[in-house]
Amino acid sequence: MEISTTRLSLRRLTPNDVTDAYVGWLNDPDVYRFLETRLSVQNKKSVLDFVAEKAASDNEFLFGMFLRDSGRHIGNIKVGPIHRHHKVADVSLLIGERDCWGKGYAAEAITAVSRHAFEKLGVAKLSAGMYVANEGSRRAFLKAGYRQEGLRRAHYESEDGRTDLVEVGALPGEIT
């Protein structure tokens, strides 16, 4: 199963997709600055275990973001875990290839997986959260149609000390 957008192809990752470049993203300070992955060691084994677990799940969907024109793997976007009673799920993403930042890929991927979650995965509400300093992430979600729903004060430890968490959410029909 593949989700196609204008420039991206999204498909569930398998352990075969775990390259040195992918492991390298998680050890790049510019990439992990706002990610919880920075709190644990990221090496080939830990990433392989993570991908294998998600590949076997019927409740969490880890998609790779591949450029359609070259097939290059530039990042990942995840939906889930899906709460089966409340039908809510989180969306999280990273674009690991830094030369691909600021080109609209995040907004394009968020739009596509959000539509997919509403239409095919039985989700009724999607949520995401980001450190308040992560302007790119917040703007990408808002561009995809998410709305800001909350601001949790001093919710996380960050390199700048305590930092606020921005919460965004989307309902079916709000995705642009």
Ligand X SMILES: CC(C)(COP(=O)(O)OP(=O)(O)OC[C@H]1O[C@@H](n2cnc3c(N)ncnc32)[C@H](O)[C@@H]1OP(=O)(O)O)[C@@H](O)C(=O)NCCC(=O)NCCS
In this structure, are residues 45 and 60 in contact, taking their beta carbons and an 8 Å threshold? no
Compare residues 53 and 135 and give the one whose CB is closer to ligand X. Answer: 135
Q: Closest-CB residue for ligand X? A: 136
Task: Choose the binding region for ligand X from 5-13, 61-69, 97-105, 115-123 (rule: CB under 6 A).
Answer: 97-105
* Residue 125 CB neighbour total at 10 angstroms: 15
Compare residues 8 and 122 and give the one whose CB is closer to ligand X. Answer: 8
Q: Which strands sit side by side in the sheet containing 161-170, from one edge to the other?
A: 2-4, 8-12, 61-67, 73-79, 88-95, 125-131, 161-170, 147-158
Q: Would you report the helix, strand and coil content of the chain in percent, each value rounded to 5?
A: 30, 35, 35
Instruction: Please report whether residue 24 would count as binding ligand X according to CB under 6 A.
Output: no
* Residue 70 CB neighbour total at 10 angstroms: 8
Please give the structure tokens belonging to residue 139: 């703007």
Smallest distance, ligand X to C-beta of residue 31, A: 5
Candidate list 15, 24, 81, 102; residue touching ligand X; CB under 6 A = 102
Smallest distance, ligand X to C-beta of residue 30, A: 7
Euclidean distance between CA atoms 121 and 3, whole angstroms: 13
Instruction: Please report whether residue 93 would count as binding ligand X according to CB under 6 A.
Output: yes
Please give the residues from 137 up to 166 whose contact with ligand X meets the rule CB under 6 A. Answer: 137, 139-140, 143
- 119-138 mask for ligand X (x: CB under 6 A)? -----------x---xxxx-
The residues that touch ligand X, with contacts defined as CB under 6 A, are: 31, 34-35, 75, 93-95, 101-107, 130, 134-137, 139-140, 143
